[in-house]
Structures are given as C-alpha cells and as structure tokens.
Chains A and B, each alone.
Chain A
Amino acid sequence: MSKKILQIVESAYRATIEEQDDTVVWFTHAIKGGGADVAVLLRGHAVNYAVKGQDASGIAFGERKQTQPPDLAGDLARLIAKGVEVHVVEEDLAAHGLVTAELIDGLKPLKQSGIPELLGRHDLIWHW
C-alpha cells in the first residue's frame, strides 16, 4: 500500500508568474498522476490560492506577452476533482479576511488545533 503523503504548502506565489503555476501544486498533480496517495494542506499566505476569480493575466515585457498566466484556484479545483483532499487552515483564512463564498468548492477547512491529527494520518509530511 502506498505511503500517505501530506504536502503542506506555505510559501505562496513563489515564481508563479514565471512558472505559470505553483510548483508544489504542480508537483502534486504529477505524483497523483503517477499513483501517489497524496493530500494538500494550505496554510499561511497559501490559503489565498483557494480564492476564486484571481486573474494574473495581462503581463507583458516589451512585445512578449504571457498568454497562459497561472490559474492557482483552478489547479487546486482540478486536484480536488482527482480525489486529492485539500485542507485549509481556518485561522489563516480569517487572518487574510477570506470567507467561504470567495473560495473554490470542495475544500476541507481545518482548525489549527486539528493539524496534529491530520499529520498523524500521514506517513510522509513534505513542508514547502
């Protein structure tokens, strides 16, 4: 049986314009495709990834335009659609002034006090 992996995403918006995605969310898609049993925990500034309606389009340097800007909320939604649990820390949502109506569907809100139990349900914790 595969080890259960928890990807904790905390460093947010790290080169997302250059990469056209978040590299950890992308990594999670890749290993899920390979058969990994993986879940995600968004905490800190990374809770903002779950906000609908983000629009990073329009950047251009000289005549070179970026035509495929990052779609972080969409990438998370596609993870959820693949069966990946995406947890999000409630206190961090509140600290960023975010309410449920602004977020994508299918998230699993989690109180800070619930993190130890979540960690305990996974074999490998990768904290990015």
Chain B
Amino acid sequence: MATKKTLAFLLMDAPYESARTTTAFRLIDAAVRRGHDVSVFSYEGAVALSFAKQAPHPNAVHGRDVAQEDHPNPKDWIGALAAQADRSGGKLTWINCGLCVDERGVGEVVPGVGRGSPVDFWKSAEAADNTLVIPTKG
C-alpha cells in the first residue's frame, strides 16, 4: 500500500432495511483490505448493527434449515471486518451513539464495539483524510 489513509464513516440505517448498509459495508471492506484505518460511528437505527442477540434463522421458503441458510447477521460482518483490518495491518474502530443504543435497548454488543456521542464522530472526522455520512433517506 502506497499511503495509509484514515477514513471516517457515519451509518444511520437499521439492519435489514436498506441497501445503503450493504454499500457501506462494501466500502469499509475495500478500505480495510487495503490496510487503511477506518472509524465507524453508528447513529440512530444503525446501532442495532452490532447488537449481540441477532440470531440466524432457518428459511422455509428457501427450503433450508438454519445451518444451510447460513445467513450472516450484521454483527458477524462487523467482527469479520475488524478481523480483516487486523490481517491487513489496519484498524477498524466502531462506536455506537450511546443515547441511540439506550432508546432502542440494544446495549448488548459484540466485542470491540464502543459507545460514544456525536463528538466522537466529529473528532474522527477531524483526524480523518476523508469522511462519508450515509444517512437514512425518506
């Protein structure tokens, strides 16, 4: 990698609601695979992305049991992105908006996910080479 960059993202959509979340994860994956440092601030519904009690389910329509369906929950993707960052020599920092967590009752999060406030995102943006806010629309 020629130059290591630091990128700050803000996500807002709740899991399983918008293709914007998948797009955001693609962008984060591309960055960490290149060894860049990435910080993510989850705001509003996006705090549920890291909720530890997400569970995979079977899918009768697909005719598959839970193992066959092998449905990745976003909490697992967050862990996988962090592991990828480690392997690539970068770092993934994931912070949830604390008040957003409280009002949704999703305080049980996967390891590595922290709690903060918009000021944490602002500080990340100040330190980053670039910033992308991906808000809920509509």
Question: Nearest-CB distance from B17 to chain A (Å)?
Answer: 13
**A75 to B: closest C-beta gap in Å:** 14
Which residues B114-138 have CB closer than 8 A to chain A?
Answer: 117-119, 121-123, 125-126, 131, 133, 135-138
Q: How far is the CB of B115 from chain A (nearest CB, A)?
A: 14
Query: Cα distance A36–B44 when bound, in Å?
Result: 21
Q: B133 contacts A128, CB within 8 Å?
A: yes
Q: Contacts A30-B117, A124-B131, A126-B131 hold; do A36 and B136 have CB atoms under 8 A apart?
A: no
Cβ contact of A31, chosen from B122, B136, B138, cutoff 8 A = B122
**Chain A residue contacts of B117, Cβ below 8 A:** 30, 34
Contact of A36 among B10, B43, B122, B138 (CB under 8 A): B122
Q: In the assembled complex, how far is the CB of residue A23 from the closest CB belonging to chain B, in whole angstroms?
A: 6
Residues of B within 8 A of A5 (CB): 122, 125
Q: In terms of DSSP, what is the predominant structure of the interface of chain A?
A: mixed
A23-B43, A124-B131, A126-B131 are contacts. A34–B122 as well, Cβ < 8 Å?
A: yes
Q: A11-B137, A11-B138, A128-B133 are in contact. Are A31 and B126 (CB under 8 A)?
A: no
A110-128 interface (Cβ within 8 A of B)? 124, 126-128
Contacts of A128 in B (CB 8 A): 133, 135
Q: Which residues 63-118 of B have a CB within 8 angstroms of A? A: 117-118
- The tally of residues in B whose CB lies under 8 Å from a CB in A reads 17
A31 contacts B133, C-beta separation under 8 Å: no
B37 to chain A, nearest CB (A): 18
Quick check: is A64 within 8 A (CB to CB) of the other chain?
Answer: no
Question: For the complex, what is the distance from the CA of A24 to the CA of B44, rounded to whole Å?
Answer: 10
CA gap between A98 and B122 in the complex, in Å:
33
Q: For B133, list chain A residues within 8 Å (CB).
A: 126-128
Which chain B positions have C-beta within 8 A of A31? 118-119, 121-122
27 contacts between A and B (CB under 8 A): A2-B126, A3-B125, A11-B136, A11-B137, A11-B138, A14-B136, A14-B138, A15-B44, A23-B43, A24-B135, A27-B43, A27-B118, A30-B118, A30-B119, A31-B122, A33-B119, A34-B122, A34-B123, A35-B122, A36-B119, A36-B122, A124-B125, A126-B10, A126-B131, A126-B133, A127-B135, A128-B135
